[in-house]
Amino acid sequence: MRQEDISISGFTLKHGGVGGLATSLFSLVLMLAGLGESGGVGSLVYVIVIGVILWAQIDYRRSEMLPVEYGDAFKVGAMTSLYIGVITIVYGLLHWNVIDPETGARALAAAEAAMAEQNLPPEQIEQAMAAQKMILSPVVAPVVGGILTCIAGIIISLLTAIGTRRADELDAEEA
Task: Give percent above pLDDT 90 in the chain.
Answer: 41
* Residues of the chain above pLDDT 70, percent: 87
- Judge whether 64 and 152 are in contact, CB under 8 Å: no
With 0-12 / 13-18 / 19 or more C-beta atoms within 10 angstroms meaning exposed / middle / buried, residue 43 is exposed
CA dist., res. 168 & res. 102, Å (int): 52
Cα separation, 151 vs 174, whole angstroms? 37
Between 73 and 36, the higher pLDDT residue: 73
Segment 63-67 mean pLDDT: 72
Tell me the C-alpha distance between 83 and 105, whole Å: 29
- What's the rounded Cα separation, in Å, for the pair 85 and 34? 24
How confident is residue 1, by pLDDT bands cut at 50, 70 and 90? very low
- The string of pLDDT tens digits covering residues 119-164 is 888 888 888 888 888 888 889 989 999 999 999 999 999 999 998 8
DSSP 137: S
Structure confidence at residue 167 (pLDDT): 61
